Chains A and B, each alone.
Chain A
Amino acid sequence: MSEKDLMLPGACTLNHDGCVVCSDAGIPVWVVSVEGDDALCEDAAGDRAQIAIELVSPVRTGEVLLTHGGVAIGRVRRGERRVFSEVCRRVQER
C-alpha cells in the first residue's frame, strides 16, 4: 500500500478531520493489526488509533478503511478510480 492509496478518500487525518459532527469527516487509515472487534490503524500522518471494525468486518491487515468517530464505516477500493482517471486522461490528452 502506498501513501497515495491511503489518501484516496481525501486529506483528513486523525488529528485533522474538520468537523466530526458534520458527518462528512471521513478519515482514511490502514490496518496495522486486528484485535477482536477493534483494529490498530494508522493515518497518513503516522498517527495511530484503535478503530471499531464490526461494521466492515472481516478486516485484513493492510486494508484501507474509511473511519468516522472512531468507527470504520467503509473500505477504500483502490481499483475503483475509473471515473476520476477518465477525467485525468482526457485532460492529459488535450
Chain B
Amino acid sequence: MKYVDEFRNAEIARAVAAEIAALTDPHRHYKIMEVCGGHTHTIYRHGIKDLLPDQIELVHGPGCPVCVLPMGRVDEGIEIAERPEVIFTCFGDMMRVPGSKGNLLEVKAQGADIRMVYSPLDALRIARDNPDREVVFYAIGFETTAPSTALTLQRAKKEGIENISVFCNHVTIVPPVRALLDSPDLRLDAFIGPGHVSTVIGCRPYEFMPKDYGKPCVVAGFEPLDLLQSILMLMRQLDEGRCEVENQYGRVVLWEGNLQALKSMAEVFELRPYFEWRGLGFIAQSALKISPAYAAFDAELRYSTPGVRVADPKACQCGEVLKGVLKPHECRVFGTACTPDHPLGALMVSSEGACAAYYNFGRKSFQKVGARE
C-alpha cells in the first residue's frame, strides 16, 4: 500500500528504534502492555518486537472483544439463532467462536438462518426487508463498535421497525485495565492506549492510570511507526520521571472524544452491574446493556436468556494469555490442538487475537516451550 509509506518508512523506524534503545536502562526490565488486539497484530505483522531492545517486553492486553467473551454468552447466542422465527445476524469473526456445543457456522450448516453482516445497519435492512421474521443482531465490541449499534436502534425506533432486537455484549475498556492493574499477577510499567476506542471516548478516561497507579499511557495509531513512536514517548516519560496520558494519534483522536457518539450510546445503553470476562472473571460496570428506553429491542428480554456460565476447556489457557501472564506460545495447546483452522480458544479465532497473531506472524521468532507439550 504505497500511500502509507510515511508511516512505514524503514529509515525512520530504525532511527526511532535507536532512540528507544538509547533511553533503555540495560539493568531494567520494562513491561509495556498494548491494550488493543489491533496493536498486537501490527507488532507481529511488522516485526516491531525485533526492533526493540531485549529489556522491553510487550505484553498483550484484553482488547479483543471476541477473545474476552465467555463461552456462556456464545451458547446463549446459538440458542437464539436456533429459533425457527429468527434471522440471526453477526459479524464474521463471531461465526467461528467455539461455544460448548459448537459454533454458529455449524448451527448454520444444520439449517439455522444465520447471516454474516458487516454493520448492524445491515441487520436493520434485513429486518426492513423481512417484516414477518424476527431479526436478532449479536452485538459485540468495545466503544468503537457500540455507537454503530446505538445508531441502529435509534434508526429502528425512528422508523418504527419492531422486528429487530440486539443481543448486547458490548464491553468497555477502562474497567478491565483497572482490574489488570489491581491484579497481583502482573507488574506493568506503561500502557499503549487503544486508538480507535479513543476516537469515541477520548483520552480523559485514561487519566486514572497515571493518577491512581502511577503508570504512563500513550494513545497510539495502528501503523508500525505509530507504535514505535508511542513506545518512544513512553520510554521518554519513564526516563524523565514523567507520568501522564499523551495522544500520539492526534490526527484522529480528540482529547474529549466524539461527544455525539457518546450521547447516542448514553441514550441506548446503560452499564451492567457486572459482566464476566474470559480469564478475568466478573468485573463491575464493565459492559453495556440495552437501556429501559430501548427495552423493546433487547433480545435478552425478548428471548429470556438464562445467563448460563460455561467453563473453558481444561486444556485452554486463554485466560492466562489474556492477562498477559503467559505468552501465546507458552499455552500447552498452542499450535498443536489449537490452530486458526481448529481453534480451541477464542484467542486463536479472531484475526486480532494474540494467539492468531503469534501463529500467523511470530512463529519463527520464538522457540516452542517444549516442557509444556
Assess the B3–A4 pair: CB atoms within 8 A: yes
Q: CA of A69 to CA of B142 in the docked complex: distance in angstroms? A: 12
Contact A22 B199 (CB under 8 A): no
Q: A21-B350, A23-B145, A55-B260 are in contact. Are A70 and B119 (CB under 8 A)?
A: yes
**B287 CB–A CB distance under 8 Å:** no
Q: Report yes or no: B222 in contact with A74, Cβ–Cβ below 8 A.
A: no
B143 at the interface (CB under 8 A from A): yes
Question: How far, in angstroms, from A84 to B248 measured CA to CA in the complex?
Answer: 7
Given A18-B351, A22-B350, A84-B225: A9 in contact with B144 (beta carbons within 8 A): no
The answer to whether B144 touches A82 (Cβ under 8 A) is: no
- Complex CA gap A35/B233 in Å reads 42
Size band of the interface chain A makes with B: 35 or more
Q: Which residues of B from 209 to 262 have beta carbons under 8 Å from A?
A: 221-223, 225-226, 229, 232-233, 247-248, 250-254, 258, 260-261
A10 to B: closest C-beta gap in Å: 5
The answer to whether the Cβ of A83 comes within 8 Å of any Cβ in the partner chain is: yes
- Nearest CB on A from B234, distance (A): 13
Q: Which of A23, A76, A80, A83 contacts B196 (CB 8 A)?
A: A23
- Cα distance A37–B151 in the bound complex, in angstroms: 11
Q: Which residues of the partner chain B approach A76 to less than 8 Å between Cβ atoms?
A: 251-252
Closest 8 pairs (CB-CB, A-B): A70-B119, A24-B38, A23-B144, A7-B3, A22-B352, A74-B199, A71-B148, A91-B15
List 18 A-B residue pairs with CB atoms under 8 Å apart, sorted by A's residue number.
A4-B3, A8-B252, A19-B38, A21-B66, A21-B145, A21-B350, A22-B36, A22-B93, A23-B36, A26-B195, A55-B258, A69-B148, A70-B119, A70-B122, A76-B251, A84-B225, A91-B11, A91-B16
